[in-house]
């Protein structure tokens, strides 16, 4: 018996069966309950050896050969230009005034007319660990001043780039997004959408928790060089907060029962210090802000797994109070990626866009003076046959988001286009060196996040320049109109004076004539 030969026949037959199935099976995937089923296409199995339209493939090959042989550079460039998608990498606005309040605030800060400008950057896991935000922050702090990285949870899921949280104990994180603690019946989660509670003390007396902060040697220097710390909290019972430098008590702060506000915490000017919190009933610590006396601060608020639909669920009065108290000049929302795998058609994408726009309108109603920028989803890829391909729904979703956001008076930044459009995620993972995205084909690598962060800063700078130019043109036009109006008034007054003089002269002549006649 010739086993190798039989095995070869078996393999050929198996491949023939697979090829036949790939030809006969429908091209589109079909749903079976909650599952999506599909099969390889002939192109997946045979690659460039297979073409569904042999005549077209032959014509394209001939065209390619002819273009190379003719050395017609103009024709070649025209072909490339035709195939290249049109990308919009600038921030899109219905009016240049969309971010005008924010730009005016930066201008006032630069002129010394105000002390600080605060920005908050909400997003999903794409911005965890201060990614994207920290590059944008560094650009603004170098230009307008400021130190520190702003708000962070006392018990963060991912530490910020500039500060390490070590030796943490007795702390529990509660979030308004993701899997919520069902024992929490209210929606008072603060403007970060989360708070930290204390766990029962080991000695059985009340509640206690603590953490040590240590400046990290990476990230950005200006973000590490904070000079003050603020704590946002609410209490049920008196709370004691002790600050330690090494093992030495540096400062103590006590808060009464039923306290809810933001307060400064005295911290040492060292690279490492600790907080210890004790109370009879657990407080809610809504966050700590690491900042300076003046300048720009940008808070990074990452919500893993979220789609940006929690803002209308937060306690309205508390959320409004914190937005206004912190005086946010710009609110950035970066969502959509977590929804993409679950959007099946155009109707789903449009419903999501309308829901996202309702969140924007809600924030605008609570803090009308804030400018709002919505950053759409990045490109994402899913396995289709043997290849990774972009989710086709992204193009529909980003168009719907853009239309809804501009209609609400917000600005929109198309991150999908910034990356390079359809297929960009595959290129970022497989072709770029270093890779700009990781192999889940959803998240950026540190290099990719850095690229996007600086692109965001550049896009805002470009729009600000347009806005300033527009303001100058409007001012010049207003001045011209005012001058024309003044000149017109002077001309009218001159005519009136001339008529009056003529009337007096006529009256004088008539009076003289009358006297002569008498």
Q: Are 21 and 39 in contact (CB under 8 A)?
A: yes
Model confidence at 25, pLDDT cuts 50, 70, 90, reads low
Residue 490 is predicted with a pLDDT of 72
CA–CA dist 154, 196 (Å, integer): 6
What tokens appear for 240 in the block? 């004691």
Model confidence at 511, pLDDT cuts 50, 70, 90, reads low
Place domain 94-117+315-485 in its CATH homologous superfamily.
Answer: SGNH hydrolase (3.40.50.1110)
Residue 69 is predicted with a pLDDT of 39
| CB proximity list for 515: less than 8 A, separation 6 or greater | none
Cα dist from 312 to 300, 319, 339, whole Å:
20, 10, 18
Work out the average pLDDT over 200-211.
95
State pTM to two decimals: 0.81
Model confidence at 44, pLDDT cuts 50, 70, 90, reads low
Residue 278 has pLDDT above 80, yes or no: yes
Residue range 378-435, pLDDT digits in tens: 999 999 888 999 999 999 999 999 999 999 999 999 999 999 999 999 999 999 999 9
Model confidence at 515, pLDDT cuts 50, 70, 90, reads low
Model confidence at 516, pLDDT cuts 50, 70, 90, reads low
Model confidence at 125, pLDDT cuts 50, 70, 90, reads very high
For the CA atoms of 335, 337, 338, 342, what is the dihedral angle to 10 degrees?
A: 120
Q: Are 67 and 340 in contact (CB under 8 A)?
A: no
Residue 198 is predicted with a pLDDT of 98
Residue 127 has pLDDT above 80, yes or no: yes
Residue 49 is predicted with a pLDDT of 55
416: helix, strand or coil = helix
CA–CA dist 371, 492 (Å, integer): 44
Residue 134 is predicted with a pLDDT of 97
Model confidence at 23, pLDDT cuts 50, 70, 90, reads low
Residue range 60-106, pLDDT digits in tens: 344 333 333 334 444 433 433 444 556 889 999 999 999 999 999 99
Residue range 340-380, pLDDT digits in tens: 999 999 999 999 999 999 999 999 999 999 999 999 999 99
Of the options 1.10.1040.10, 3.20.20.70, 2.60.40.10, 2.60.120.1360, the CATH number for the domain spanning 137-304: 2.60.120.1360
Model confidence at 22, pLDDT cuts 50, 70, 90, reads low
Q: Indicate the pairing of strand 163-169 with strand 171-175.
A: unpaired
Spans of all domains in the chain: 3-83, 94-117+315-485, 137-304
What tokens appear for 82 in the block? 């035709």
- Chain centroid offset of residue 490 CA: 53
Residue 169 is predicted with a pLDDT of 97
Residue 150 has pLDDT above 60, yes or no: yes
486: helix, strand or coil = helix
Cα dist from 262 to 32, 42, 329, 345, whole Å:
53, 63, 19, 45
Average pLDDT, the chain: 87
Asked if residue 434 has a cis previous peptide bond (ω within 30° of 0), the answer is: yes
Model confidence at 31, pLDDT cuts 50, 70, 90, reads low
Work out the average pLDDT over 441-448.
97
| CB proximity list for 481: less than 8 A, separation 6 or greater | none
Q: Indicate the pairing of strand 328-334 with strand 116-123.
A: parallel
Residue among 422, 412, 423 at smallest CA distance from 456: 412
Cα end-to-end span (Å), the chain: 155
Work out the average pLDDT over 264-281.
96
| Percentage above 90 pLDDT, the chain | 71
Residue 58 has pLDDT above 60, yes or no: no
């Amino acid at each position: 018996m010739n086993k190798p030969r039989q095995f070869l026949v078996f393999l050929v037959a198996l491949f023939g069966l697979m090829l036949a199935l790939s030809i006969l099976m429908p091209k589109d995937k079909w749903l079976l309950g909650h599952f999506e089923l599909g099969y390889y296409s002939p192109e997946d199995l045979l690659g460039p050896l297979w073409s569904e339209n042999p005549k077209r493939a032959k014509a394209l090959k001939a065209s390619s050969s002819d273009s190379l042989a003719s050395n017609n550079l103009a024709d070649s460039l025209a072909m490339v230009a035709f195939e290249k998608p049109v990308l919009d990498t600038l921030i899109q606005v219905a009016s240049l005034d969309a971010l005008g309040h924010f730009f005016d605030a930066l201008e006032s800060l630069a002129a010394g007319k105000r002390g600080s400008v605060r920005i908050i950057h909400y997003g999903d896991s794409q911005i965890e660990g201060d990614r994207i935000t920290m590059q944008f922050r560094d650009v603004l702090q170098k230009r307008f001043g400021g130190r520190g990285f702003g708000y962070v949870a006392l018990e963060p899921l991912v530490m910020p780039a500039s500060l390490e949280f070590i030796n943490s104990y007795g702390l529990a994180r509660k979030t308004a997004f993701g899997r919520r603690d069902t024992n929490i019946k209210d929606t008072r989660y603060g403007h970060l959408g989360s708070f930290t509670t204390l766990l029962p003390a080991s000695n059985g007396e009340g509640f206690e928790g603590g953490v040590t902060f240590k400046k990290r040697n990476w990230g950005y220097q200006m973000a590490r060089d904070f000079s003050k710390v603020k704590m946002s909290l609410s209490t049920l019972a008196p709370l004691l907060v002790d600050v330690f430098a090494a093992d030495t008590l540096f400062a103590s702060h006590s808060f009464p029962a039923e306290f809810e506000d933001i307060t400064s915490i005295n911290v040492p000017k060292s690279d490492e210090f600790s907080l210890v919190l004790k109370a009879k009933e657990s407080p809610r610590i809504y966050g700590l802000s690491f900042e300076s006396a003046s300048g720009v601060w940008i808070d990074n608020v990452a919500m893993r797994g979220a789609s940006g639909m929690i803002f209308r669920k937060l306690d309205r009065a508390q959320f409004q109070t914190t937005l206004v108290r912190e005086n946010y000049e710009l609110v950035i929302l970066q969502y959509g990626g977590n929804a993409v795998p679950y959007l099946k058609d155009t109707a789903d994408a449009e419903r999501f866009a309308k829901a996202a726009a309702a969140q924007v309108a809600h924030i605008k109603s609570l803090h009308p003076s804030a400018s709002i920028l919505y950053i759409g989803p990045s490109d994402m890829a899913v396995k289709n046959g043997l290849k990774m391909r972009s989710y086709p729904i992204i193009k529909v979703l980003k168009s719907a988001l853009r239309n809804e956001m501009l209609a609400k008076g917000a600005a929109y930044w198309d991150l999908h286009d910034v990356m390079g459009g359809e297929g960009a995620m595959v290129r970022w993972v497989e072709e770029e060196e270093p890779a700009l995205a990781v192999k889940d084909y959803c998240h950026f690598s540190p290099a990719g996040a850095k690229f996007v962060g600086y692109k965001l800063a550049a896009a805002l700078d470009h729009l600000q320049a347009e806005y300033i130019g527009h303001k100058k043109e409007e001012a010049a036009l207003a001045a011209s109109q005012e001058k024309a109006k003044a000149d017109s008034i002077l001309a009218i007054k001159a005519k009136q004076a001339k008529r009056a003089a003529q009337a007096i002269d006529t009256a004088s002549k008539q009076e003289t004539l009358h006297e002569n006649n008498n």
